[in-house]
């Protein structure tokens, strides 16, 4: 084979390797606004409505959902799940129209602590696995999350943001309120473009007027 041909084949092989590497790197993180990778994990919380079923984020399309990543066994995780369970009850009771769902994903290797973490709490608790035996929890890897991250998704399963309970511990009422407001905001449909709401007097009447009508 001629030298230019060998060089061409070598370059083509190198390009293919670079593409493969870039796909691996891209697959290891989820950017804001990007649809999260799908999965199907078993709900191991015996008092959850989906106990024993395989649960997927695609089950929550058309709803805002929030996914907590914990390690069952420690008191911190049990405390977090307690506050998230309280948040779910709070939202269901006071803002049912928002239809927000909160779930937990337990890191592979922490299976033995699940019963303690979920005792008395009925949010789904999904058990992650290490199916490819690389030593890392599969969904934790594909969603690129850290311990105590809460990933908020919109109704298209696109990531809105990651709310870290390490930074915003829910034992602090300000953190609890901040998360609650974020979830409600995520579930609130914005006004159509070009339309404004104008307060009309003390009666609290609102008039909807097109922004450019009087221009």
Q: Where does the chain have alpha helices with state H?
A: 3-27, 75-94, 114-118, 138-142, 173-186
> Is position 130 an interface residue for Ca ion (rule: CB under 5 A)?
yes
Is 37 a residue that touches Ca ion (CB under 5 A)? no
Of 32, 62, 112, 132, the residue at the interface with Ca ion (CB under 5 A) is: 132
- Contact region for Ca ion (CB under 5 A) — 7-15, 36-44, 133-141, 176-184? 133-141
Nearer to Ca ion, 80 or 128 (CB): 128
**Does the CA dihedral 183-184-187-189 come out positive or negative?**
negative
Nearer to Ca ion, 136 or 168 (CB): 136
> For residues 178 and 157, what is the distance between their CA atoms, to the nearest angstrom?
21
Nearer to Ca ion, 37 or 155 (CB): 37
Binding-site size for Ca ion (CB under 5 A) equals: 5
Residue 136 lies near Ca ion (rule: CB under 5 A): yes
Query: Residue 128 CB, nearest distance to Ca ion (Å)?
Result: 9
Asked if residue 189 lies in contact with residue 155, where contact means CB atoms within 8 angstroms, the answer is: no
197 forms beta bridges with 208
Assess 134 for contact with Ca ion (CB under 5 A): yes
Overall size of the chain counted in residues: 215
Q: Does 51 bind Ca ion (CB under 5 A)?
A: no
CB burial of 92-116 (b: ≥16 within 10 Å; e: otherwise) equals eeeeeebebbbbbbbbbebeebbee
Is residue 117 within 8 A of residue 77, CB to CB? The reply is yes
**Considering only 25-33, 54-62, 85-93, 130-138, which stretch makes contact with Ca ion by CB under 5 A?**
130-138
Residues that bind Ca ion (CB under 5 A): 130, 132, 134, 136, 138
């Amino acid at each position: 084979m001629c030298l230019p041909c060998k060089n061409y084949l070598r370059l083509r092989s190198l390009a293919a390797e670079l593409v493969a590497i870039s796909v691996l790197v891209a697959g290891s993180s989820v950017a804001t606004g990007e649809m999260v990778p799908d999965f199907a994990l078993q709900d191991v919380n015996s008092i959850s409505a989906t106990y024993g079923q395989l649960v997927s984020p695609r089950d929550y399309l058309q709803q805002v959902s929030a996914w907590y990543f914990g390690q069952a066994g420690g008191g911190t995780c049990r405390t977090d799940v307690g506050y998230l369970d309280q948040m779910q009850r709070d939202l269901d009771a006071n803002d049912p129209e928002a239809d927000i769902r909160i779930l937990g994903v337990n890191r592979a290797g922490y299976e033995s602590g699940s019963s303690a973490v979920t005792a008395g709490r009925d949010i789904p608790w999904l058990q992650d696995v290490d199916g490819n035996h690389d030593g890392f929890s599969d969904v934790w890897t594909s969603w690129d999350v850290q311990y105590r991250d809460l990933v908020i998704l919109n109704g298209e399963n696109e990531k809105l943001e990651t709310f870290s309970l390490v930074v915003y511990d829910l034992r602090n009422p300000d953190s609890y309120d901040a998360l609650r407001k974020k979830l409600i905001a995520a579930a609130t449909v914005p006004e159509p473009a070009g339309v404004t709401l104008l307060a009309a007097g003390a009666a609290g009447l609102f008039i909807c007027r097109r922004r450019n009508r009087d221009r």
